[in-house]
Amino acid sequence: MSKSTWVLLCIFIGLILFKLQSGRRSAEEVSVMRKAVNDGGLLLDVRTPGEYNGGHLDGALNIPVGDLRGRLQELGPKERAIVVYCASGGRSARATKFLRANGFNEVHDLGSLSNW
């Protein structure tokens, strides 16, 4: 392989490793999120209904990230803790940013449901 091919391959592998690591949550972070849910917080699944029906965390409300704007009233008071998750972390990050921008005070980004 040429030098430029090796460089591109290394960049690609680095991006994959970064993506895998960036979606992980520490045990302490997950513990805080579990406590928030146990204390009455909302577990919010922002995947598609098909993904949700294929398996989800117990007690989670499913509102796809693209539908959040029109369904904010379903989340309850803005002071309520919300733990957001999706399949890999991209949609949950977008949803978390959107919810915070719309006045929700305690929003936690779980990232992937596998972090639970």
Query: Any idea which residues carry the catalytic annotation?
Result: 86
CB atoms within 10 A of CB 35: 11
How do 61-62 and 82-86 pair as beta strands?
unpaired
Concatenating the DSSP letter of every residue in 65-99 gives GGGGGGGGGGG--TTS-EEEEESSSHHHHHHHHHH
